Structure 1
Amino acid sequence: MSSRDIRLSFGTADYVMLGIMLLGSMSIGLFFAVCGKSQMTNLEYLLGGRRLKALPVCMSLFATFMSAISLIGIPTEIYSYGTMYMYCLIGQVLSYIVATVTLIPLMYPLRVTSVYEYLNLRFKSRTVQLLGAAFGVMTTLSYMTIALLSPALALETAVGIPLWLSIILVGAVGTVYTTLGGMKSVIWTDVFQTFVIFAGIFTVIIKGTMDAGGMDKVWQTSKDTGRIDFSDISFDPRVRHTVWNLSIGLTFYWLANHFTQSSVQRLVSTRSIQDARNVYFFTIPLIVVFISVLCVTGLVLLAYFNEIGCDPLAAGFVKNKNQLVPYFVIHTLSFLPGLSGLYIATIFSGALSTLSSGINSLAANTVQDFLPWFLRYKSEVFVTSVTKTLVCFFGMASTGLAYLAKNFEGPVIQVGYTAIAASNGPLLGLFLLGGLFPQANSSGATVGFLSSIVLSFWQAIGSLRFRYATPVLPLGPTDNCGAPGNISSLFSSTPTYTFTTNNSTDFTTFLNYSTVQGSDRFEMGERDFSFYDVSYVWAPVTGAVMTIVFGLVTSLVSNCFSAEIVRPEAKLLFAFCRKFWYSQRDVLSVQIKLRDHPVNHQ
C-alpha cells in the first residue's frame, strides 16, 4: 500500500446513494402528511390510532435504539478492547424478556400516552410525574445529541463531509418528516432505514473479510493481538468489562430504555397486548444479529489494517478511534462507486431514526406531562397543531445542541452510556419502586429519586474526569503507510496515555497490562479504591438500586406517621407482584377488566 492510496474521497456516486436514502425517508413523511386523513387528532398523530402492527413497530424500535452510536462505537470497542463486550448480548436479551413480563402487562392496559402518566396514577403526585418527565426529556435530548454528533465528527475527518452539513442534513430531514407525518411516518421511515442499516453492515463485513484474507485469517489475527477474550469473570467492580458487569449492567441499562417514552409510545400504539409482546419477541433476533455482525466488524477492521500493513490510528491518519469505521469503509468499498455511500447512508439512517423517535416522544411528553392544564379545553385540531409545533421545536433544538457540542471526543459507547445511565438508572428505579412495592408513596419516590440522581451524576462526572483510563490493546503495523510523518513517535510497543485532571493539567501515566492477553483489566498500583474507578457499566444498576432503597425506606418511615395509608390499585403493580401483595379477588378483578375492555380501535 503506497502513500497515494491512503486518502480516498467520497465520490459523486456515494453522494447519490446518500441522497436516495434521505429522499426516501422524506418521501415517506410526505406520504403520511398528504394521505393521512386522520392526522388531525393527537391519538392518530402520536400513536397511529393504536392500530399499528407488531412487525413494523418492532423494526422501528430496533432502528431507534441501534443508532449511529452503535454503528460506529461497537466495532471501535472491539478493535480497541477486545471481544469481552459481546457479553452485552446476554444483558440485552434478558432485558427484553424481563420487559415482556413487567412493562407490557403494566403499561398497555393503562392506555397511557406518556410513560410518566403512570407515575401520577401510581403515586397520586404531579410532582413525581413532573420530576420523571423532566429528567426523561433531559436524557432523550442527551441521547439525541450524541447520536447526531458522533457520526458527524467521524465523517468529517474520515470522509470529508463537513460537520455542519451532516448535522443539518439529519436534523432537517428528520424534523420535517416527523413533523409532517407523525408516528406513522416515524414507524415506516424506521422500517426503510432498518433495511438500509442491514444492507450496509452486511456489505462491509463481507467485502472487508475478503480483503483481510478470509474469516480464518481474521480470527487468527484477532487471537494473536489479544482481541479474543471471553474469560474475564473478575468480581472487581473496577474492571471495565467482565461477564458479570456486562450481563447485569446491560440488563438494567436496556430495561431502563424500555421504560422510556420512545419505547412505551410504540408499544401502546399496537393493536393488542399480544402485538406489544410480539414487538419484543421479534426484536430479539434482530438485536442478536446486529450486535454480532458489528462485533465481527471490529475484528475485521483489525485484520484488514494488519493485512495491508497500515493502521490509520497508529499512523495518525485519523484523529481518534471513532473515525476508524468510516475510514475503513471508504478504503474497502471504494472499488465500486456508491458502496461507500451505502454505508455512510447506514450511519445517517441510524442517526435519523434516533432523532425522529426522540423528537416525537419529547412532543408527547410536553403535551401530556407539562401542558395538560393549558390544553384541557382546546379542540383536537389546536392540540395537534401544538404537538406538531413542538416536534419542529425539539428537532431544531437537538440539531443546535449537537453542533454546540462539536468538541466531543472519546469512545462513544462509554461516554454515551455513562451520560445516559446517570439519569436512566434512577428513572428505572422509580418505575421499579412503584411496580414492585405497594408500600411506596410519593414522599419516598421523590426522596429516593432525587437522592439517586445526585449520587449518580456525582459518580458519572467524577468517573469521566478522574478515573484511571483503561489502555487500549496494541495497535497495528505502520510499515506500509508511506511514512506520512513522525510515525515512530505515534506507535510503539509501550503505549502512553495522556488525560486531563481537575486543574486541566495534562500528565502522562504508565499503566501496566495484565498478564492475560486481551483482558481490559489493569493494575491500579498504589491507588486506593475509588468510587470513580468503578466500571461505567454498573452506573444504571447503582442508580436504580439507590432509588429503590432510599425510596422504600423513606416510604416506610413516612407511613408510620401517616394517619391513613392508601394502597394503590392492583393494576398499578407489576402483574407477577399482584398475587403476592393482594387478594385473589383483587387480582381477578384486574384480569376481568383487561378481558372485558379491549383497546378501542376507533
Structure 2
Amino acid sequence: MSGFVVYDYIVFCLTIVVSLAIGVYHAYAGQKTTSDFLVGGRQMKVLPVAVSLMVSFESSIMMLGYPAETYVYGMMFWLSTIGFLVSCLLATRMVVPLVHPLKITSVNEYYQLRYNSRYVRLLNLTIGCINYILYMGIVLFGPGIALESVTNFPMWTSVLVVAVAAVIYTSIGGIKAVIWTDVFQSVVMFMGIFAILIKGTMVAGGISKVVEINKDSGRLDMFDFDPDPTIRHTFWSLVVGGCIRMVGLNIGQTTIQRIVSTPTQRDAIRVLYLAGPAFFITLTLATLEGAVAYGYFTTLGCDPLKSKQISNPNQIVPFMVLQIFKDLPGMSGLFIASLFCASLSTLSSGLSSLSALAIEDVVKPNFKSLSERTITLIAKISVVFIGALCVDVSFLIAKIKGPMSQISSSVLAAFGGPASGLFLFSVFCPWGNAKGAIIGTLLTAVVGMWISTGQNFSTTLKRAPGLPPGPIDRCIDVFPNKLSNMTEQTTPWTAFYHSTVESSTEYETKSLHKPKGLDRFYSLSYQWLTGFLIIVSLILCSAASIISGRPDPASVDVRYMLPFFDQFFPFLPKNIRKRLYGGVPFEKREEMLEKMNVWNYEKTYNDNHLDKHQTDEINEEVDDKTTELYPLTGSAEESSKSPSVNVEMSSSVLENGTK
C-alpha cells in the first residue's frame, strides 16, 4: 500500500490476529449450548456488553462518513448526536422493560407472542434481515472505497479481509467472542481517533487556528430553526429526527441480543445508560475529525476534493492520515487498523444477530427434533452464508453518491422505518391486530422504498450544496507528483462537488432551488424519513386493524405491551393514568410477568440439567395446562411455539422440573 512501511503492516496484522485469537479462545471455553453461542448464557457483564453495543453502531460509517459530512457540510451534523443520546435513554423506558422479562432471543419472537400469529413474525424477520444485510454491506463498502484511491489497496481485497475475519471469529466463538473482540477493537478505534485529532490539530496550527478556519468558512454555523422538512439539516431534523431515527437501532436484533444477554433488567438498563453517553462522545470525536481535516488542508492551501486528488469525501480522513503520519512509522497502520476494527465490530455483531434470527425464527420452529449440537452447527454455517451476501451488497452500495452517513440513513430508513413503526404500534396500541400490523407494515415498506430510491437515484433531484471548499493555490507546491497524476480524474462525486461549491455566491443560489413534481417527495430530509415512515406505519396499521376488527381491550395480553402514560408520564396521578388505559388491564401486568419468570427459571434449569426426553415430558405437561390457566394466549398449540408463553405450572410440574 502506498505510504505503508513494515511497521504499519505489523500493527494492522496484529489487530486482525488478536481478533481471531479471541474467537478461537471462546470457541473452546464454555460454549456448551446454543444459548451460550447466541446470548452468552444470559450471564454477560454490564461493561463489556455496553462497550460492545456502542461499537456495534460505530462502524466505518462513523470513522469515514461523519468526518466527510463535517468537511463538506459543516459541524451542524453534530446535533444529531444529541438525538442519539436521548433515544438511548428512551429505550430504557420502552425496550428494556418489555423485552428483558420475556427472555426471548430473537426480536421476532415478540411479535408472535404479541399477535399470536407467525405471519407477523415472518414479516418482521424479512424486513429485519434485508435491513441488516444492507447495513453491513455499507459497513463493508466503507473501508474499501476509502482505501482504494489513497493507498492503492483494491476495494475487493478490503471487503474480503473484513468479511472473512468477522465470519471466522463470529462463527466459531459466538456472541461472547463478538462482545470481547468489540472491547478490544474499541480500544484500537479510540487510539486511532485520538491520534488523528492530536496530530492533525498540531500540524494545522493548533486548536484556535482550526476553530478560526472552520468559523470563517461557515462550518461552525450550527443552528437553523427553519421547520421546512425539505431542508437537508436543521435543528429540528437533527435533534428530533435523529432521536426518532435511533429507534430503529434500539429495537434491532443487535440491541435486543445484548439486552437479553444480561442477567437482570437493572443490568440491561445500565448497559444503555453507559452506551448512550459513550456513543455521544465518540460521535462527537468523529465529527471533530472532519473539522480538523478542513483546517489542515486549508492551512496547506490544497483542498484534495476540489483539486481532484481524491474522488470521494469518505476518503478525506485516510488521505490526511497518510500525510500527517508519513514520518511516524506504524501510525498509518494504526488508523487502518482502527478503521477495520470499526467495520469488524459492526459486521460481527450483525452476523451474530442474523444467525440468532435464523435459529430462533426458522430452524427451531420448523425442525423441533434437532439436537443442540446440530442447531449450533447450523448457526455457525449461517454466519458464513450471511457474510457472503453482505459482500455482494457492498459492491452494489458503491454505486450511490454521498457521505456514508447520508447513504446509510437514507437506504436503511426504507426498511428501518416500517420496522420501527411496527414495534411502536405493537407496544403502545392495544387496538392492533395481526391483519392490521401486516397490511400497514407492507404498505409502509412500499412507501419507504419508493422515497429512498428516488432520493438516491433521481436524475432531476438537486442535491443540497456543500459549503465553500478550501483553497487549491498551493497544491503544486504541496503535492506536485500527486496533482499531476490526479487532476484529470472526474467522478460523479467530484463533478457534484465542483458544480455546487465553486463559490459562496453559487452556494446561495443553489440553496434557493425549489423541487418540483415527485422531487418534492424525494427532497424530504433523510433525517426525517424514518420519522415520516413511522407516522405512516402507525396510521396505516391502526386503520387496517380497526377495519378488520379491533380486539376487546379487556382481552389484550398486557405482558406484551406497555402503558404509554406510565412509561413516559409517570408523574401523572395513578387514577388518571389508569383511566387512560382505555379498559386494558395493565394493572395485572407485573403479576403475570412474575408468573412468567417462574417458568423461565425452570425452563433454563431444564435446558441445562435434564436430558431431552425429560425436558419434553415436562414441556408437554405444561402445554396441556396453558390454555386452562391463560386463555388469553390462545390455543395450547399456538402457545407452545414459544417457551415464554407457558407462564404457570402446577406444583407437581415445578417440583419435577427442579428435581
Distance 2:266 2:333 in 1: 39
Contact residue 92 and residue 250 of structure 1 kept, 8 A: yes
- Map residues 338-349 of structure 1 onto 2, 5 A cutoff: 338-349=330-341
**Structure 1 gap ranges (5+):** 1-6, 500-507
Contact residue 229 and residue 518 of structure 1 kept, 8 A: no
Distance 2:509 2:428 in 1: 36
1:571 to 530, 554, 559: 559
- Map residues 501-520 of structure 1 onto 2, 5 A cutoff: none
The aligned amino acid for 2:562 is F
The worse-fitting range, judged by mean Cα deviation, of 396-405 and 202-211 is 396-405
Change (3 A) 1:259 1:246: same
1:35 to 26, 29, 45: 29
Contact residue 7 and residue 333 of structure 2 kept, 8 A: yes
2:61 to 69, 92, 99: 69
Question: For residue 505 of structure 1, what is the aligned residue in structure 2?
Answer: none
Distance 2:433 2:442 in 1: 14
RMSD (Å), alpha carbons? 2.7
Superposed CA offset, 1:60-89 (max 9, x none): 111111111110000110110011101102
- Map residues 203-352 of structure 1 onto 2, 5 A cutoff: 203-352=195-344
Contact residue 122 and residue 568 of structure 1 kept, 8 A: no
The aligned amino acid for 1:131 is L
Question: For residue 18 of structure 1, what is the aligned residue in structure 2?
Answer: 12
**Structure 2 residue 512 is matched with structure 1 residue 523:** yes
Change (3 A) 1:292 1:316: same
The aligned amino acid for 1:524 is H
1:40 Cα deviation from its structure 2 partner: 3.6
Contact residue 466 and residue 507 of structure 2 kept, 8 A: no
1:533 Cα deviation from its structure 2 partner: 1.0
Distance 1:168 1:217 in 2: 40
The count of corresponding residues between Structure 1 and Structure 2 is: 580
1:114 to 106, 117, 131: 106
1:544 to 534, 544, 549: 534
Change (3 A) 1:513 1:548: farther
The worse-fitting range, judged by mean Cα deviation, of 22-31 and 548-557 is 548-557
- TM-score norm. by structure 1 comes to 0.91
Question: For residue 473 of structure 1, what is the aligned residue in structure 2?
Answer: 467
The aligned amino acid for 1:392 is V
Contact residue 169 and residue 177 of structure 2 kept, 8 A: yes
Contact residue 2 and residue 150 of structure 2 kept, 8 A: no
Superposed CA offset, 1:253-295 (max 9, x none): 1111111111101110111111100110011221121111111
1:455 Cα deviation from its structure 2 partner: 0.6
Change (3 A) 1:531 1:400: closer
Question: For residue 502 of structure 1, what is the aligned residue in structure 2?
Answer: none
Contact residue 151 and residue 347 of structure 1 kept, 8 A: yes
**Structure 2 residue 143 is matched with structure 1 residue 151:** yes
1:558 to 540, 548, 551: 548
Contact residue 467 and residue 504 of structure 2 kept, 8 A: no
- Map residues 167-182 of structure 1 onto 2, 5 A cutoff: 167-182=159-174
More helix by share: 2
1:169 Cα deviation from its structure 2 partner: 1.0
Question: For residue 635 of structure 2, what is the aligned residue in structure 1?
Answer: none
Distance 1:526 1:267 in 2: 43
Question: Looking at CA atoms only, which structure, 1 or 2, has the larger radius of gyration?
Answer: 2
Change (3 A) 1:134 1:339: same
Change (3 A) 1:509 1:275: same
Change (3 A) 1:542 1:405: closer
Change (3 A) 1:369 1:490: closer
1:186 to 178, 188, 208: 178
**Structure 2 residue 37 is matched with structure 1 residue 45:** yes
1:587 to 589, 592, 598: 589
Change (3 A) 1:133 1:566: farther
Contact residue 103 and residue 600 of structure 2 kept, 8 A: no
1:27 Cα deviation from its structure 2 partner: 0.5
Structure 1 runs (4+) greater than 6 angstroms displaced: 486-491, 508-515, 517-521, 594-598
Superposed CA offset, 1:476-518 (max 9, x none): 1122211634999999xxx99659xxxxxxxx97799988x99
- TM-score norm. by structure 2 comes to 0.83
Identity of aligned residues (%): 34
Superposed CA offset, 1:408-458 (max 9, x none): 542211111111111001101001011001110011101110111111111
Change (3 A) 1:273 1:171: same
The worse-fitting range, judged by mean Cα deviation, of 458-467 and 147-156 is 458-467
- Map residues 93-112 of structure 1 onto 2, 5 A cutoff: 93-112=85-104
The aligned amino acid for 1:475 is P
Task: Provide the secondary structure at the position in 2 that maps to 1:35.
Answer: coil
Question: For residue 3 of structure 1, what is the aligned residue in structure 2?
Answer: none
**Structure 2 gap ranges (5+):** 567-577, 609-659
Contact residue 314 and residue 490 of structure 1 kept, 8 A: no
Distance 1:92 1:284 in 2: 7
